[in-house]
Amino acid sequence: MCISSKDDTGFGVVSLDGLWDFAFLGDTDEQSALEHLPEQWRKTYVPSAFDASVETPGKRGMAMYRKTLIIPKGHPAELYFGALSIWSRVYLDGELLRENACGYEPLHIYVPEAKYERRELLVLVDNRFDFERVPMHEEHFDFYQYGGILREVKLRLLKAGDPWIKAIRVTPTDLYEAGKIHVDIDIAYTGTGQKLRWEYAFDNRASSALPEEAVEMDSTGAHMALLVPDPQTWSPDAPHLHQLDVLMRGENGKVVDRRSVRFGLRQVKAHGGKLWLNGEPLILKGVNRHEWHPNFGPCTPVAQMVSDVQLMKDMGCNFVRGSHYAQDQRFLDVCDELGMLVWEENLGWGQREFTLTCEKFINDHRQSLKAMVYESYNHPCVICWGFLNEAGSDAEYARPVFEDSVSVLRQIDPSRLITFASMYAFSDRYFDLVDFISINTYPGWYGCEDEPDPLSLIKPQIERISSSVDERGFAEKPLVISEIGVEGLYGWRDTHNDFFTEDFQARYLQAAIRSVLGNTRYSGIVLWHFSDVRTYGGGRSLMRPRAFNNKGVLDEYRRPKQAYETVKMCFSEGPIEPSRQ
């Protein structure tokens, strides 16, 4: 892969996606893997999961990826990996650049310049569970955890000795409708101390120079207030996007770096027990979605992402929870462009005391939480941040990591809402920390063995939850059912219409949607879940026919079950519109 340095501004960003050399090494360690490089390599596509491949389906072990890069002599660069799973190391020319232990964490890695242009990139990934090494990933998570280079890889050429723009964050202000935004530009200084000057342009219009007094410079970079010309707000029904181009010049006027970002003008709030989008009451009608497809594992092609969002909109959804990990940036681009609100959350599933009090977990969790927010910051579709799905939030041991997570989120991004999906509707200790309360509940599915009419349990439970939340002093916080659903096996129809039939699932979801959206205390319902996905194997899968989580409204190939039309009907009935308060 060659990057031209002919670009006078050295701003080349190239995709490294495509065929790489690959070798599955199996039960070995990184030391041995590097000492005995494979004699046999095969080609594999990046991004992909090696345990979703034709050659090594379901296999766990160490794997190695190799690619030769041509980087012009004397030029540093920045490598970007969307996700290396689940443990990884990145080497360039034999030098270790980064080790990581979270399979859903975007990585930005600085590549120093060299006196030669042919560079060898080696990536080691290991998908074996090992709590000491990867406490962020545990075998009991109810979704299959893959290994590989799961998301995009990019390389950005830099210029030796020059400061460069690491990131640009655009924050719509409360005057977003007038186009007022705040911009933070993270700069990698190179110690030259040269005074920097700024130009900017919106939506490919003419650029404007920023007077020095309009830019606040500090150790992290540059901060400025800008006004978007001809501002158009972003919403699911009118997903209008703007583009900001930033030009950084040195003292001699030479262009030192240039970056572009896309953003949206919208505002999301929570007050008076309601959610608000652009000043209007907001009711969430959505689904939970895993990034997964039987032919690609967790590496869903963008065309499938587009089709998934179109299916959601066809069902009447305005919202999707990206369960249970940081989302593929391309999926968020699709949601920005098609107009789908998103709950993005950090990797987490049912952690309890042993994990939540483990120092490496706490550090890896915080690092990956920050990486998710910085990477997704400019997507208007993301309206809230989540973390630690169904962790032990009914216990005191969870307080430090919950308080730290909320503090990190507030510090980086005060513009979005914060929540977490709790399984402790009646005993959660941390509802005070969040902007809106989210409850996972499965009345009429789990724990109703002796109940002759499981569906009759739904509405009373929904009412009990809201009463309990309000009695505990949280009536001012919006309330959402973040998970509810049952398994329906595609094609399984039976005269008994009992559990696992499509008919039972359809009737269940009808009762669930009407119980929640027919109750004005609720600000939304998020069905579990969009499409069937592979989950854990082995003995744990005894609760999961096919070793799949079959609660999808569609099956894994996106074939609609009977519930699809039911959901579409119920979502179009619309909720009881909350009165403007």
Contact residues for ligand ADA (CB under 6 A)? 142, 323-324, 389-390, 440, 483, 528, 549, 551
Cα radius of gyration (the chain): 24
Residue 367: enclosing H or E segment and its boundaries?
Answer: helix 359-376
Q: Compute the least distance from the CB of residue 483 to ligand ADA, in Å.
A: 4
Q: Compute the least distance from the CB of residue 383 to ligand ADA, in Å.
A: 20
**CB-wise, 129 or 424, nearer to ligand ADA?**
424
**CB-wise, 440 or 466, nearer to ligand ADA?**
440
By three-state DSSP, how is residue 32 classified?
A: helix
Q: Compute the least distance from the CB of residue 441 to ligand ADA, in Å.
A: 8
Q: Compute the least distance from the CB of residue 322 to ligand ADA, in Å.
A: 12
Question: Minimal CA–CA distance to 150: which of 49, 21, 3?
Answer: 49
Q: Helix 329-338 to helix 302-315 angle, to the nearest 10 degrees?
A: 40
CA gap 44, 189 in Å, rounded: 37
Contact 14/5 with Cβ under 8 angstroms? no
Q: Compute the least distance from the CB of residue 100 to ligand ADA, in Å.
A: 24
**CB-wise, 126 or 483, nearer to ligand ADA?**
483
Buried b (16+ CB within 10 A) or exposed e, 544-561: beebbbbbbbbbbebebb
**CB-wise, 274 or 321, nearer to ligand ADA?**
321
**CB-wise, 47 or 524, nearer to ligand ADA?**
524
Beta sheet of 48-49, edge-to-edge order: 48-49, 148-149, 84-85
Q: Compute the least distance from the CB of residue 310 to ligand ADA, in Å.
A: 24
Q: Compute the least distance from the CB of residue 528 to ligand ADA, in Å.
A: 5
Q: Compute the least distance from the CB of residue 335 to ligand ADA, in Å.
A: 20
Q: Compute the least distance from the CB of residue 42 to ligand ADA, in Å.
A: 34
Residue 332 has φ and ψ, to the nearest 5°, of -70, -35
**CB-wise, 16 or 421, nearer to ligand ADA?**
421
> Looking at beta carbons, which pairs linking 31-40 to residues 24 or more positions away fall under 8 Å?
33/62, 33/64, 33/124, 34/91, 34/122, 34/124, 37/64, 38/64
Amino acid at 301: P
CA gap 49, 298 in Å, rounded: 7
**CB-wise, 50 or 528, nearer to ligand ADA?**
528
By three-state DSSP, how is residue 240 classified?
A: coil
Q: Compute the least distance from the CB of residue 481 to ligand ADA, in Å.
A: 11
Give every CB contact of residue 364 below 8 A, 6+ residues apart in sequence. Answer: 101, 102, 135, 136
Give every CB contact of residue 69 below 8 A, 6+ residues apart in sequence. Answer: 1, 3, 16, 118, 119, 120, 121, 155
Q: Is the peptide bond before 47 cis (omega within 30 degrees of 0)?
A: yes
Residue nearest to ligand ADA (CB): 142
**CB-wise, 61 or 350, nearer to ligand ADA?**
350
Angle, vertex CA 332, rays to CA 327 and CA 337, nearest 5: 170
Contact 401/388 with Cβ under 8 angstroms? yes
Beta sheet of 107-111, edge-to-edge order: 13-15, 153-157, 77-81, 107-111
Q: Compute the least distance from the CB of residue 536 to ligand ADA, in Å.
A: 10
Q: Compute the least distance from the CB of residue 145 to ligand ADA, in Å.
A: 12
Q: Compute the least distance from the CB of residue 421 to ligand ADA, in Å.
A: 6
Is the dihedral angle over the CA atoms 499, 504, 506, 512 positive or is it negative? negative
389 token code pair? 């799905």
Question: Minimal CA–CA distance to 516: which of 412, 440, 579?
Answer: 440
**CB-wise, 304 or 482, nearer to ligand ADA?**
482
**CB-wise, 77 or 465, nearer to ligand ADA?**
465
CA gap 385, 418 in Å, rounded: 5
Contact 97/108 with Cβ under 8 angstroms? no
**CB-wise, 336 or 483, nearer to ligand ADA?**
483
Buried b (16+ CB within 10 A) or exposed e, 150-162: bbbbebbbbbeeb
Contact 563/507 with Cβ under 8 angstroms? no
Q: Compute the least distance from the CB of residue 444 to ligand ADA, in Å.
A: 13
**CB-wise, 75 or 324, nearer to ligand ADA?**
324
Contact 52/89 with Cβ under 8 angstroms? no
